[in-house]
Amino acid sequence: MDEPTVRTGWREELERARREALAAIARATSTAELEEVRVAALGRKGAITAFLRSLSQYPPEERPQIGRVANAVRDEVEAALDAAAERIGQEEEARRLLEETVDVTLPGTPVATGHAHPLNTVIREIEDIFLSMGFELAEGPEIETDAYNFEALNIPKGHPARDMQDSFYMNEGILLRTHTSPMQVRFMQSRAPDLPVRMITVGRVYRRDDDATHSPMFTQVEGLLVDRGVHLGHLKWTLEEFARRVYGEGARIRLRPSYFPFTEPSMEVDVSCTICGGGGCRTCKGTGWLEILGAGMVHPRVIRNGGYDPDEVSGFAFGMGPERIAMLKYGIDDLRLFFQNDLRFLEQF
Amino acid sequence: MRVSYRWLQEFVPVELPPEELAERLTLVGLAVEAVERPWRHVEGVVAGRVTAVERHPASDHLKVVRVETGGAALTIVTGAPNARAGMLVPVALPGARLADGRRIAAADFRGVVSEGMCCSADELALPEPPGPRGLLELDPQEGWRPGMDVARALELDDAVLEVELTPNYAAHCQSVLGVAREVAALLELPLLPAERRRGPSQPAPASWPADRPRPPRVFIEDEGCARYVARFILDVRVGPSPLWLQRRLQAAGMRPISNVVDVTNYVMLETGQPLHAFDLDTLRGGLIGARAARPGETLRTLDGEERRLQEGDLVIADAEAPVALAGVMGGAATEVTERTRSILLESAWFDPARVGRTARRLGLLSEASGRFEKGVDPSGCRWVADRAAALIQALAGGTVPEEVEDAYPRPARPRRLEVEAARIRGLLGVDLGDAEIASYLRRLHMDVRAEGGRLVVTVPTFRPDVTEPVDLVEEVGRLYGLNRIPSAPLHGAPGRGGRSARRRALDELSRLMRAAGFTEAVTFTFHPEERLARLGLPPHDERSRPIAVANPLSEAQEVMRTTMLPSLLDVLAHNHRVRRTDAALFEIARVYMGADEVAAGRLPQEPLRLAFVASGRLAPRHWREGEGRAADFFTAKGVVEAVLRLFRVEDARWERAREPFLHPGRAAYAAAGGRALGWVGELHPRVAAAWDLEGRVVAAELDVEALLAAGRALPELRPLPRFPAVARDLALVVDLATPAAEVERVMRQAGGELLRSIELFDVYAGERLGAGRRSLAYRLVYQADDRTLTEDEVEAVHGRVRQALAGELGAVLRS
């Protein structure tokens, strides 16, 4: 072959291959086109590959220089191919994502979830507060003996308090409990003589009353603490703490002397009105206070019935109606809504 | 109890605004529910004398009267039929206001200008006298003179405190005096002497007229009467009471009747001691007293009813027969009437329980019986009788001889209590000195003597509620002020605290049910017996024998539920009525089993249940998901299966349920470890119809205690697999009668330890297979813990499974 021809043409030949490859890379718009360019330039039969394979045709003293230039061209084309692949990949991804676009305002696939009953929600909240103060949850029978429901709680036959809570009877000695207070004695009996006694119990109770403000079945939460040296100040602190946790730091309480046969002194407990904060409004009937629970120091006879010596220990007890607390909390105005279980009501909680 | 503030001020010099007093009383234990001022608007009304009555020139029913009110004579138009010359009437002058707030101005009535208005009792919110409506007549004998201000004379600026008495204060606060004692103790004020009260306290002295029969002697033949005082008022004139007294009775919520009867009520309201007036001349045999009713005796009471008396009734009798039901109601024969001339006034103490029983039986609860029932003070009978006799004399005239019968065989002695001052301090949590404690008790009219650290307290007889030392703690606490007691954080060891594992499981269960789309219900635990009948349970079924409520208010409380189903179906029916047919509800609550136990005087079982009901769609219709998930047997069973997983019940068995209230082909029992867990299924269409429910209704009821017992407390952990699993699909055709559970059992038995999971992914029944056949397609996964299974091993075990299916069940294998 005619060496000078070859010798004078290699630079131009390489430059042409380089130019053609770079131009094709710039023109490519898809991964497939780019692959064609790669095969044409750097594939087994590609222009640059072919040039490199033909290096042996050149005089040995020139081969290193020609090889250096040719390798540089190959590296440049490879780099351009990589950069283009990155660019085209991004473009293609963007196109694909664009095609997958949906109307995000369409509703999602439904996960049908039910609703908690507001009464149970409030009960759990109350339980949690007292559980965190070291009170223990207890359960007791709803069908109860007259002995536990009345006698053990210092309510003998003929006591006016038996009028106050007209009862549903099964027979002479067995009735539907009228309050959760029988659990005071039952729980003490299950613990005596251990101290302290810290109980919280929640349950259904029953009274013969049925109108807009009374339900024949409703729920109560009862608390009991018996230990050495327990006094009214401890009761007051416990109830203040409860009020703060339910109604917020600013909540205050007020004690009004009242009467329960199983506590003495007994009191009704008001919390500063949650609506007006104490200034007076419709909810609190202008008084600034809402009655939320009854409480007192456990009567010595009840402590004795529980198996403890009232000269050694003392205690306090309190009871409240979750219905009332839920009504105030959610602004519910009709007690009957709790037991009607209308889904249009329950689904709001 | 309703207390007139003006009346109260005759007993204690209280000057606080009534609302403020109400607040203070409430904080000391006398809950004042309301402060009322029914007369507050009345002003500018004066007494006026009618000097002339003429016909109105242009009206048949109107009259024109001339009225003198001290100044210039007025011309007033009135429609009252009783207007007559000479009478004194209340006159609203121009600018005056009536009780309803109306302002009076001079006005033209058909050509005659009326310079004010003559008033009826009603227009001043005063009690209407009996007879036809008309002008209120003011009696000059009561001191009325023309020009007197009616509002001032009748204390129309008065306020009435409505006091809600708790049982412990009921006895000593059921009177103006009792409330006054509380006010005095609260505000550290003295009680005013009797002279400050309206009307005399002691009758004018007189002796028994020689020409009159001697007064009857008093006997007590029954312990139900502890004291019986009789005072006599001779030659009274029965007539209406003065207006001031009528108004006070009205303020207290009582109706005026006649001066004698009104005084007995007035003094009762004042002192708390009920009184009864007999017509003295109707009493026979010179005897009166208390005894037990005798068999067969009857008494015609004041209301005209003939009452059959019972053993245990305490009666007042003369020498011949009962004349009154003690403390409950007087007899008609001895009633004070307009013709009555002489009175026997009874002031007595009767047993609270006896009075209460008789009054309740006869439905004769009254102000008097209520007071006896709460307990009156026997020490007060005599002075109260004197006060009432004096007031009758002042209003109705007559003589009150000094002869008084007072039978009081065992005079009440004040109770003595001993209490350690340290105990009072210890329970109240306040460091009160002994002297301070004593001072609170003395303010309550208790006598206190300190003996070392002990206080010896003498309790007055008007405090029957103070019977034990802890009562004194309460008295000191409320006078000191409960709200002044400093609060003290809890100390000492906490209780066991926290939720039990059982409670946590129940909370989890509730959360799971909600996550599954069910809303929590809280239902009544009783229902009409008829609801149970709808289920068609056989008589031997325990659930068909509910515990009955002996005294339901209505059928709604007839029986305690033995199954949750009726309560929840009632709820579902309510929601269907309001067109919520896509409904899913659950409740975790109790049922009540054991009518026999209750009959035997023992407490029944109250097992806890999870129950749910659903109808319509469990998941809603959706643009992408199609028609939604309908409530049917399998959706319901899926929920139960999720519950079983939650409780880690791993060996549950399913079988067809036979419950008369369920679809016979679409209901199942679940059991584990030989114990029934409950049922799930579609409601029988007849039962659904009984509740007016349309479409498929699913329900389930599970025994929560059984679930807790059947489940593992902790999961059984297996190490993560180290060797690959091999899956093989298997399709087979079996008889429709072959349960899937049986197919699975055969596969497990044949597959042994290496068969790790069975997934049923297709069920097909169709013509292609022939009648009574179905195809089941499974994916079986094989795996070993200690090696990679070889192809040969897998083929061997899978072959055994196929053989077993064919051999034991006659299954035709399709792949």
pLDDT of residue B567: 97
Are the beta carbons of B299 and B328 closer than 8 angstroms?
Answer: no
User: What is the mean pLDDT of the segment spanning B521-536?
Assistant: 97
| Portion of chain B with pLDDT greater than 90, in percent | 89
Are the beta carbons of B612 and B585 closer than 8 angstroms?
Answer: yes
Q: How far is residue B192's CA from residue B547's CA, in Å, rounded to a whole number? A: 60
**Does the pLDDT at position B243 exceed 70?**
yes
* End-to-end Cα distance, chain B: 91
pLDDT of residue A310: 96
Return the SS3 of B209.
Answer: coil
pTM for this prediction: 0.86
Locate the chain A residue with the closest alpha carbon to B586: A114
ipTM over 0.90: no
The residue ranking higher by pLDDT, A109 or B697, is B697
Locate the chain B residue with the closest alpha carbon to A106: B623
In B, which residues are within 8 Å of A237 by CB distance? Answer: 487-490
Strands B583-590 and B519-520: parallel
Which residue out of B166, B484, B523, B579 would a mutagenesis test of the A interface target, given it has the greatest number of A Cβ atoms within 10 Å?
B166
Strands B617-619 and B608-615: unpaired
User: What is the mean pLDDT of the segment spanning B46-50?
Assistant: 95
Are the beta carbons of B116 and B95 closer than 8 angstroms?
Answer: no
**Does the pLDDT at position A163 exceed 80?**
no
* Range with top average pLDDT, A47-61, A86-100, B499-513, B514-528: B514-528
Q: How far is residue B231's CA from residue A175's CA, in Å, rounded to a whole number? A: 49
Task: Give the minimum alpha-carbon distance from A314 to chain B in angstroms, rounded to a whole number.
Answer: 8
Among the residue ranges A143-157, A275-289, A313-327, the one predicted with the least confidence is A275-289
| Portion of chain A with pLDDT greater than 70, in percent | 96
Task: Give the minimum alpha-carbon distance from A43 to chain B in angstroms, rounded to a whole number.
Answer: 41
Tell me if B487 and A115 make a contact (CB, 8 A cut-off): no
Interface of A with B in 200-259 (CB under 8 A): 204, 208-210, 216-217, 219, 225, 227-229, 231-234, 236-238, 240, 254-259
Tell me if A120 and B552 make a contact (CB, 8 A cut-off): no
pLDDT of residue B100: 94
pLDDT of residue A164: 55
**Residue/partner pairs of B683-692 with CB below 8 Å, 24 or more apart:** B683/B569, B684/B660, B687/B534, B687/B535, B687/B536, B687/B569, B687/B661, B687/B662, B690/B534, B691/B534, B691/B569, B691/B570, B691/B572, B691/B573, B692/B573, B692/B576, B692/B577
Tell me if B525 and A347 make a contact (CB, 8 A cut-off): no
User: What is the mean pLDDT of the segment spanning B313-333?
Assistant: 96
User: What is the mean pLDDT of the segment spanning B605-611?
Assistant: 97
Average pLDDT, whole number, for chain A? Answer: 91
- The answer, for A160 touching chain B at a CB cutoff of 8 Å, is yes
**Does the pLDDT at position A47 exceed 50?**
yes
pLDDT of residue A125: 94
Tell me if A109 and B625 make a contact (CB, 8 A cut-off): yes
Q: How far is residue B284's CA from residue B286's CA, in Å, rounded to a whole number? A: 6
Tell me if A265 and B474 make a contact (CB, 8 A cut-off): yes
**Does the pLDDT at position B272 exceed 90?**
yes
Tell me if B624 and A109 make a contact (CB, 8 A cut-off): yes
Instruction: Indicate the pLDDT class of residue B613, thresholds 50, 70 and 90.
Output: very high
Tell me if B601 and A233 make a contact (CB, 8 A cut-off): no
User: What is the mean pLDDT of the segment spanning B601-610?
Assistant: 96
Which residue out of B419, B474, B609 would a mutagenesis test of the A interface target, given it has the greatest number of A Cβ atoms within 10 Å?
B474
Q: Which of B121, B119, B142, B134 is closest to B45 using CA atoms?
A: B119
From the candidate CATH numbers 3.40.640.10, 3.40.50.10190, 3.20.20.140, 3.30.930.10, the one assigned to the domain spanning A118-346: 3.30.930.10
Q: How far is residue B543's CA from residue B540's CA, in Å, rounded to a whole number? A: 9
**Does the pLDDT at position B622 exceed 70?**
yes
Tell me if B167 and A161 make a contact (CB, 8 A cut-off): yes
Burial class (CB in 10 A: 0-12, 13-18, 19+), B204: exposed
The residue ranking higher by pLDDT, B784 or B495, is B784
Locate the chain A residue with the closest alpha carbon to B618: A112
Q: How far is residue A224's CA from residue A171's CA, in Å, rounded to a whole number? A: 29
pLDDT of residue A52: 84
pLDDT of residue B716: 86
Instruction: Indicate the pLDDT class of residue A238, thresholds 50, 70 and 90.
Output: very high
**Does the pLDDT at position A249 exceed 60?**
yes
pLDDT of residue B497: 66
Q: Distance between alpha carbon B38 and the CA centroid of its chain, in Å?
A: 28
User: What is the mean pLDDT of the segment spanning B649-658?
Assistant: 92
Tell me if A134 and B471 make a contact (CB, 8 A cut-off): no
Tell me if B486 and A120 make a contact (CB, 8 A cut-off): no
Are the beta carbons of B728 and B643 closer than 8 angstroms?
Answer: no
Are the beta carbons of B343 and B236 closer than 8 angstroms?
Answer: yes
In B, which residues are within 8 Å of A133 by CB distance? Answer: 490, 494
In B, which residues are within 8 Å of A314 by CB distance? Answer: 426-427
In B, which residues are within 8 Å of A183 by CB distance? Answer: none
Interface of A with B in 47-86 (CB under 8 A): none
**Cα–Cα distances in Å, from A195 out to A234, A298, A309, B70, B383?**
16, 15, 12, 81, 54
Q: What is the pLDDT of residues B382-441, one digit of tens each?
A: 999 999 999 999 999 999 999 999 999 999 999 999 999 999 999 999 999 999 999 999
pLDDT of residue A280: 81
pLDDT of residue A3: 45
- Which candidate from A134, A141, A234 shows the least CB-CB separation from B429? A234
**Does the pLDDT at position A2 exceed 70?**
no
**Does the pLDDT at position B519 exceed 80?**
yes
Tell me if B427 and A231 make a contact (CB, 8 A cut-off): yes
Phi, then psi, of B536 in degrees rounded to 5: 70, 30
pLDDT of residue B814: 79
Phi, then psi, of B122 in degrees rounded to 5: -55, -40
Q: How far is residue A135's CA from residue A322's CA, in Å, rounded to a whole number? A: 18
pLDDT of residue B580: 95
Are the beta carbons of B324 and B296 closer than 8 angstroms?
Answer: no
pLDDT of residue B627: 83
Which residues, including other chains, have CB under 8 Å from residue B88's CB and lie 6 or more apart? B47, B48, B49, B50, B137, B138, B139, B140, B144, B146
A257, containing H or E segment: strand A253-260
User: What is the mean pLDDT of the segment spanning B660-666?
Assistant: 97
pLDDT of residue B636: 97
- Which candidate from B167, B356, B429 shows the least CB-CB separation from A231? B429
Tell me if A170 and B550 make a contact (CB, 8 A cut-off): yes
Print the SS3 string covering A263-319: EEEEEEEEEECCCCCCCCCCCCCCCCEEEEEEEEEECHHHHHHCCCCCCCCEEEEEE
The residue ranking higher by pLDDT, B270 or B815, is B270
Task: Give the minimum alpha-carbon distance from B483 to chain A in angstroms, rounded to a whole number.
Answer: 6
**Does the pLDDT at position B679 exceed 60?**
yes
Instruction: Indicate the pLDDT class of residue A157, thresholds 50, 70 and 90.
Output: confident
Q: Torsion angle, CA of B558/B561/B563/B565, rounded to 10 degrees?
A: 60
Q: What is the pLDDT of residues B426-436, one digit of tens each?
A: 999 999 999 99
Q: What is the pLDDT of residues A101-133, one digit of tens each?
A: 999 999 998 888 999 999 999 999 999 999 999
Q: Map out the domains of chain A as residue ranges.
A: 10-99, 118-346
Tell me if A135 and B495 make a contact (CB, 8 A cut-off): yes
In B, which residues are within 8 Å of A232 by CB distance? Answer: 427-430, 477, 482, 485
Q: How far is residue B79's CA from residue B109's CA, in Å, rounded to a whole number? A: 11
Strands B217-220 and B287-292: parallel
- Which candidate from A233, A257, A264 shows the least CB-CB separation from B486? A233
pLDDT of residue A4: 43
Average pLDDT, whole number, for chain B? Answer: 94
Which residue out of A159, A256, A267, A291 would a mutagenesis test of the B interface target, given it has the greatest number of B Cβ atoms within 10 Å?
A256
Tell me if B583 and A232 make a contact (CB, 8 A cut-off): no
Q: Is A90 left (phi over 0), alpha (psi -120 to 50) or beta?
A: alpha
Phi, then psi, of B97 in degrees rounded to 5: -125, 145
Q: What is the pLDDT of residues B80-126, one digit of tens each?
A: 999 999 999 999 999 999 999 999 999 999 999 999 999 999 999 99
Task: Give the minimum alpha-carbon distance from B315 to chain A in angstroms, rounded to a whole number.
Answer: 21
Instruction: Indicate the pLDDT class of residue A8, thresholds 50, 70 and 90.
Output: low
Task: Give the minimum alpha-carbon distance from A112 to chain B in angstroms, rounded to a whole number.
Answer: 5
A174, containing H or E segment: strand A174-176
Task: Give the minimum alpha-carbon distance from A96 to chain B in angstroms, rounded to a whole number.
Answer: 22
For every residue of B397-461, DSSP letters joined together read: --B--S--EEE-SS----EEEEEEHHHHHHHHT----HHHHHHHHHHTT-EEEEETTEEEEEEPT
| Token pair belonging to B288 | 């009166």
Tell me if A114 and B517 make a contact (CB, 8 A cut-off): yes
Instruction: Indicate the pLDDT class of residue B815, thresholds 50, 70 and 90.
Output: low
Q: How far is residue B266's CA from residue B289's CA, in Å, rounded to a whole number? A: 24
Tell me if B169 and A259 make a contact (CB, 8 A cut-off): yes
- Which candidate from B489, B495, B498 shows the least CB-CB separation from A196? B495
pLDDT of residue B269: 97
